[in-house]
């Protein structure tokens, strides 16, 4: 009888051990990923932290480290070098990188910003209300920023001479200070980035004005999710899992911005909750939601529009050849339509 009990106990222990081991056989260990953001920890990056809080990444076997950067050039350089697995960045800067680095070119795999936020930002007192008004003015910019790199293309579209403008160049994070001090008449950058930085600096909302590149007829997209070549070429499953979790994260943030900001605050406790909530709502309204994203779902692009944008970037950046559209954007990993649907 004693032996029977021992045999039964051994069987149960063995069965329990098998059950504990089963998940490691059925599902690989959690994969650690490094993801480069192209902005600080603010409202525009909060959806990633909502997804982390709600365990969307954990549910597909991923653990993501989200790092800030100095902008799209740095962010895309990180993923292009293979130091990072995925990144957020301006697709127009990505085109430039891919044209010059075809052997290690990362690809956009999910569109986020359907209206490019590239713009000239001024104060009402500058008197700049149309592109022709910048002739003879002094503008502030960062030389590595996509808005500055594409300025010649903007001038071409608007019918003005880019050499008619004077410049003050600063670090990406110091542009708004130039405008606030009155050292320049306007600055180049992303609308939401500069707008909310100006508000932080004491500017009144009614005083901040924008001239959008898109308003001059440039059919540009904006920020997108970018995958490293190593994953694009060899790990479709991992890329799809990342996009599934990220798509759910952004969809949830669009449906409940307050929840996204609460998740961000858990990660970065010193944020201005009211301001960052307003920033996220700005991005959702002005960049994410459009006729195109409502019709096709988040993540996809229209081939004809992308082709026109590539041609503009080629001319604007002075590229010897244009990158192939299939290299710039790869739609193979998009998640299901229900995850990509714009809420509301």
Is 319 part of a structural domain of the chain?
yes
Q: Is the pLDDT of residue 213 over 80?
A: yes
154/233 same-domain check: no
Task: Give residues with Cβ within 8 angstroms of 25, minimum separation 6.
Answer: none
Residue 15 lies in a domain: no
Q: Quick one: 245 and 306 in the same domain?
A: yes
Q: Is the pLDDT of residue 2 over 70?
A: no
pLDDT digits (tens, 9 = 90+) for 257-300: 999 999 999 999 999 999 999 999 999 999 999 999 999 999 99
User: Domain check: are 186 and 210 in the same one?
Assistant: yes
Are 95 and 154 within one domain?
no
pLDDT of residue 146: 82
- Cβ(87)–Cβ(79) below 8 Å: yes
CATH number at residue 128: 3.40.190.10
Residues 235 and 319 in one domain: yes
Q: Indicate whether 20 belongs to any domain.
A: no
40 occurs within a structural domain: yes
HEC per residue, the chain? CHHHHHHHHHHHHHHHHHHHHHHHHHCCCCEEEEEECCCCCCHHHHHHHHHHHCCHHHHCCEEEEEECCCCHHHHHHHHHHCCCCEEEEEHHHHHHHHHHCHHHCCEEEEECCCCCCEEEEEEHHHCCCCHHHHCCCEEEECCCCHHHHCHHHHHHHHCCCHHHCEEEECCHHHHHHHHHHCCCCEEEEEHHHHHHHHHHCCCCHHHEEEEEHHHHCCCCCCEEEEECHHHHHHCHHHHHHHHHHHHHHHHHHHHCHHHHHHHHHHHCCCCCHHHHHHHHHHHHHHHHCCHHHHHHCCECCCHHHHHHHHHHHHHHHCCCCCCCHHHHECHHHCCCHHHHCCCC
How many structural domains are present in the chain?
2
d(CA 283, CA 224): 13
Q: Which of 216, 231, 265 is the last residue of a domain?
A: 216
Give domain status of residue 22, yes or no. no
Assess if residue 47 is contained within a domain. Answer: yes
Q: What is the phi-psi region of residue 204: left when phi exceeds 0, alpha when psi lies from -120 to 50, beta otherwise?
A: beta
- Same domain, yes or no, for 132 and 90? no
Dihedral of the CA atoms 149, 151, 152, 155 (nearest 10)? 170
Question: Rounded distance, CA 312 to CA 38, Å?
Answer: 22
Question: For residue 26, is it within any domain?
Answer: no
Listed residues 154, 187, 216: the one ending a domain = 216
Q: Of 187, 216, 245, which residue is a domain's last?
A: 216
pLDDT band at 29 (very low <50, low <70, confident <90, very high): confident
Tracing tokens 């100095």 back to the chain, one arrives at 70
Same-domain status, 227 and 291:
yes
CA distance 39 to 89: 9
- pLDDT (tens digit, 9 = 90+) per residue, 31-82? 999 999 998 999 999 999 999 999 999 999 999 999 999 888 899 999 999 9
Same domain for 328 and 310: yes
Please check whether residue 7 lies inside any domain of the structure.
Answer: no
Instruction: With a cut of 90, say whether residue 127 has pLDDT above it.
Output: yes
d(CA 118, CA 328): 19
Residue 317 and residue 230 share a domain = yes
Question: Are 290 and 274 found together in one domain?
Answer: yes
Same domain, 227 and 105: yes
Q: Which residue has the higher pLDDT, 29 or 159?
A: 159
Which domain does 46 fall in, by range? 31-114+221-340
User: Do 93 and 229 lie in a common domain?
Assistant: yes
**pTM for this model (two decimals):** 0.88
């Amino acid at each position: 009888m004693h032996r029977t009990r021992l045999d039964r106990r051994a069987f149960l222990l063995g069965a329990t051990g098998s059950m504990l081991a089963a998940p490691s056989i059925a599902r690989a260990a959690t994969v650690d990923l490094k993801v480069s953001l192209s902005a600080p920890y603010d409202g525009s990056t909060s959806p990633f932290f909502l997804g982390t809080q709600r365990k969307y990444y954990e549910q597909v076997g991923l653990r993501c480290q989200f790092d800030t950067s100095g902008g799209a050039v740095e962010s895309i350089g990180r993923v292009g070098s293979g130091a990072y697995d995925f990144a957020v960045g301006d697709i127009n800067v990505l085109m430039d990188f891919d044209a010059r680095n075809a052997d290690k070119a990362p690809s956009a795999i999910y569109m986020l910003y359907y209206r490019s936020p590239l713009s000239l930002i001024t104060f009402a007192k500058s008197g700049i209300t149309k592109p022709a008004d910048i002739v003879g003015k002094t503008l502030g910019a960062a030389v590595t920023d996509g808005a500055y790199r594409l300025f010649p293309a903007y001038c071409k579209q608007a019918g003005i001479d880019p050499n008619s403008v004077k410049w003050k160049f600063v670090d990406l994070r110091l542009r708004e200070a130039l405008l606030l001090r009155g050292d320049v008449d306007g600055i180049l950058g992303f609308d939401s980035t500069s707008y909310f930085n100006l508000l932080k600096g004491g500017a009144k909302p009614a005083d901040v004005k924008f001239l959008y590149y898109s308003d001059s007829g440039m059919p540009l997209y904006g920020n997108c999710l970018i995958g490293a070549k190593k994953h694009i070429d060899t790990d479709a499953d991992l890329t799809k899992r990342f996009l599934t979790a990220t798509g759910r994260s952004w969809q949830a943030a669009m449906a409940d911005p307050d929840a996204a900001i609460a998740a961000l605050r858990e990660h970065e406790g010193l944020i201005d909750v009211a301001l960052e909530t307003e920033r996220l709502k700005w991005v959702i309204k002005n960049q994410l939601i459009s006729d195109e994203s409502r019709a096709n779902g988040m993540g996809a692009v229209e081939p004809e529009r992308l082709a026109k944008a590539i041609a503009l970037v080629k001319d604007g950046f002075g590229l010897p050849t244009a990158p192939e559209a299939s290299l710039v954007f790869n739609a193979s990993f998009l998640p299901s339509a229900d995850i990509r649907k714009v809420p509301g």
